[in-house]
Amino acid sequence: MECGLLFSAGKDSSLSALLLENFYDVKLVTAHFGITDDWQYARDTAEALGFPFERIQLSDGIATDVTARMREDGFPRSGIQSVHEAALEAAAAEYDVVADGTRRDDRVPTISRAVAQSLEDRYGVDYIAPLSGFGRGAIDRLVEEHLIVESGASETVQKGDYETELRARIESRWGRDAVEEIFPDHEQTRVIGRT
Amino acid sequence: MECGLLFSAGKDSSLSALLLENFYDVKLVTAHFGITDDWQYARDTAEALGFPFERIQLSDGIATDVTARMREDGFPRSGIQSVHEAALEAAAAEYDVVADGTRRDDRVPTISRAVAQSLEDRYGVDYIAPLSGFGRGAIDRLVEEHLIVESGASETVQKGDYETELRARIESRWGRDAVEEIFPDHEQTRVIGRT
């Protein structure tokens, strides 16, 4: 059975792919807005991990709305949550099984049991969050054992997810200071292969 | 890394074992009270699935307390929850990683994020619930694809978990009618192998 797994080239979605690979035909799906070509980093990581890749383009209106909300909030949380849900819905329109890398201790994005059930009912899909039963320590140890990760400032380590594009959109609308204010933590990690 | 997975020979704990087997040295752990020899069914299923097996004996005082509570409640939920938590704690005292088969849609036993975190902090372990990101439909389809299951009335299909023993204890203390009242649903399933 094919499973469309939302993929950012980060640790959580990469580990999720490994957890599901013996149970589904996993396809790594990167949602993007067409603002930059950063989705190519996700494609490269997908290839390095040995999975087929697809990108799904979300409407530019969503990027406009959520960047405005992030700017107003002063932090990205609620905007990221909206984009993540939109990405899940776009994947659910294409796949019978959709998955993501949300984990037990995540604060955002987070998919409650009610949101999961609603997605499943509205689209007739299974929604799977393979890391939602894993805590931080267990995930760190599994990542260490199974994945090769590079980390550094967000300028040098590019992931392939929509967050990079939203930063770019915020910079073009309100300048570099707005990006710094909304995303104070610059540390990024990207998976580049399996151990 | 060795992982002690609470095991009943049922679908959920068996599927959990399959999900974890490429990431941990999974040992199937059946908690029992020494009331009956039904733990042997769990041992047989563990062997059929190809996993090492261990039984952990819980104190008889727990069986006495929870059967009294079940009798008073008229339903097993709160008692089952207590025994499950006691079994997790017993496993956490022996293993660095403990796991169980609780799923997203379970009502009992259920391990909240707070209970999971508390278990991890008190025992210095990782607690993993590999099915907690899977809904009912996804689990049914994976079980169908990967496991051979027999089902029937609880008199004919014996699992190896503490529930069977608690029924026996209730019957010996208050008679067969009390068992029927507390556990009206007799349908049981037991995994007997891999497809």
Domains and CATH numbers, chain A: 2-194 (3.40.50.620)
Q: Which residues pair with B147 in a beta bridge?
A: B194
Distance CA B28, CA A88 (A): 35
Tokens at residue B127, please? Answer: 């607690």
Q: Give the residue carrying structure tokens 């094919």.
A: A2
State the distance between the two ends of chain B, measured CA to CA, in whole angstroms. 27
Partner B contacted by A170 (CB < 8 A): no
DSSP state of B103: -
B-chain residue closest to A117, CA distance: B135
| pLDDT tens, N- to C-terminus, chain B (195 residues) | 999 999 999 999 999 999 999 999 999 999 999 999 999 999 999 999 999 999 999 999 999 999 999 999 999 999 999 999 999 999 999 999 999 999 998 888 999 999 999 999 999 999 999 999 999 999 999 999 999 999 887 667 777 778 889 999 999 999 999 999 998 876 788 999 999
A-chain residue closest to B116, CA distance: A135
Distance CA B36, CA B169 (A): 9
Distance CA A165, CA A33 (A): 7
What residues 90-109 of chain A have any CB closer than 8 A to a CB of chain B?
97, 102, 104-105
Q: With CB atoms and an 8 Å threshold, state whether A132 touches B128.
A: no
Distance CA B7, CA A194 (A): 31
- The structure's pTM equals 0.95
| Whether residue A27 has pLDDT greater than 70 | yes
Q: Across the interface, which of A131, A135, A145 has its CB nearest the CB of B126?
A: A135
The reported pLDDT for the residue numbered B41 is 93
Distance CA B66, CA B76 (A): 9
Confidence of residue A154 (pLDDT cuts 50, 70, 90): low
Q: With CB atoms and an 8 Å threshold, state whether A120 touches B134.
A: no
What are the residue ranges of helices labelled H in chain A? 11-20, 39-49, 60-73, 77-92, 113-123, 136-146, 162-174, 176-182
The reported pLDDT for the residue numbered A162 is 85
Q: Which residues pair with B152 in a beta bridge?
A: B188
The dihedral over CA atoms of A165, A168, A170, A172, expressed in degrees to the nearest 10, equals -140
Q: Give the residue carrying structure tokens 């029927």.
A: B180
B-chain residue closest to A126, CA distance: B138
Q: Which residues pair with A147 in a beta bridge?
A: A194
Which chain A residues are Cβ-neighbours of B97 within 8 angstroms? 138
ipTM here: 0.94
> 3-state DSSP helix/strand/coil percent for chain B, to nearest 5?
50, 20, 30
What residue type is assigned to position A145 of the chain? E
